[in-house]
Amino acid sequence: MDPYRWAWDPAALTMVPLLAVLYAISLQLFPAPRWRVVSFACGWTLAFAVQVTPLETLAIHSLLVMHLLQNVALAEWAPALCVLGLAPRLARAAEVNRAVALLTRPLPALATWLVTYFAWHLPWPYDAALRHPILLHLEHLTYFLAGCLLWWPVVHGRRSSGAKAGYLFAAFVLASPLGLLLALLPSSVYPFYQHVPRLWGLSPLADQQLAGVAMAGEQAVVFFFAFALYLTRFLREEEHADVFRAPTART
């Protein structure tokens, strides 16, 4: 089998376009500025691309590093862009539902994302998903939904920029051990990748170490950038508030 063939995953060909249709319908009820539409389109394109391009073939037949790259795209990057693409009025309307309101609070959202992320990376469910397409589709779906919950309090939450910066820092600190662990373990932990055709001269252990380094590095960049953005915003807000408090203090 050609390891670089396009996957054309049937689930992706059905679900991702459906997501685009639902978003288009939502725009009729809750119009969004162009930059939000572009953000959603980028997230949609990314989610589609990692499931139909050769990345999918490499991920499920040859290389752990490609599978982890696919995972972070579906659990972090695409959800962030899609949530950013939602109009604030749509977010407020969704939060009228009690379940949505509860799950999009910082603690439940972060906990759901962490549990989903770590659970699917345990050896047994990880290998099972690679051997059974239904489980793999469930993995991808839960990654995306949990990722949307992760970013919701940041993008649409009502808390201060300082609180959002702290939330992002906590997400990084709690998630980073997974990539570091994969990079430092002395042996391969996923039996599936020990028995697949090897590519690029990577042994199963080297593949796992590269995957762990890539995951840890990716999370450091993404979460630190978002953390720095909200921390800078918080400091500016505090500086602006001090300007208005100072005259009052003198009087």
Assess if residue 3 is contained within a domain.
Answer: no
- Tell me the helix, strand and coil percentages in the chain, rounded to 5: 80, 0, 20
User: What's the distance, CA 124 to chain centroid?
Assistant: 22
Structural domain range at position 121: 10-250
Assess if residue 48 is contained within a domain.
Answer: yes
With a CB cutoff of 8 Å and minimum separation 6, the contacts of 180 are 212, 216
Mean pLDDT of 196-222: 91
Mean pLDDT of 28-41: 95
Q: Is the pTM of this model over 0.85?
A: yes
When the pLDDT of each residue in the chain is averaged and rounded to a whole number, the result is: 90
CA distance 155 to 176: 22
By percentage, how much of the chain surpasses pLDDT 70? 95
Assess if residue 243 is contained within a domain.
Answer: yes
CA distance 65 to 59: 7
Q: For the purposes of burial, counting CB atoms within 10 Å of the CB of 50, is it exposed (0-12), middle (13-18) or buried (19 or more)?
A: buried
Q: At 245, is the pLDDT very low, low, confident or very high (cuts 50, 70, 90)?
A: low
Q: Examine the pLDDT at 242 and tell me if it is beyond 60.
A: no
Q: Examine the pLDDT at 248 and tell me if it is beyond 70.
A: no
Q: At 123, is the pLDDT very low, low, confident or very high (cuts 50, 70, 90)?
A: very high
- DSSP letters, 103-131, are HTSHHHHHHHHHHHHHHHTSHHHHHHHHH
Q: Which of 5-19, 49-63, 147-161 has the lowest mean pLDDT?
A: 5-19
Locate 163 and state its tokens: 């609180």
Distances (CA, A) of 190 to 24, 195, 215: 40, 10, 16
- What is the per-residue pLDDT for 4? 82
Assess if residue 182 is contained within a domain.
Answer: yes
Number of domains in the chain: 1
CA distance 31 to 197: 49
> pLDDT by residue (tens digit) across 136-193?
999 999 999 999 999 999 999 999 999 999 999 999 999 989 999 999 999 999 999 9
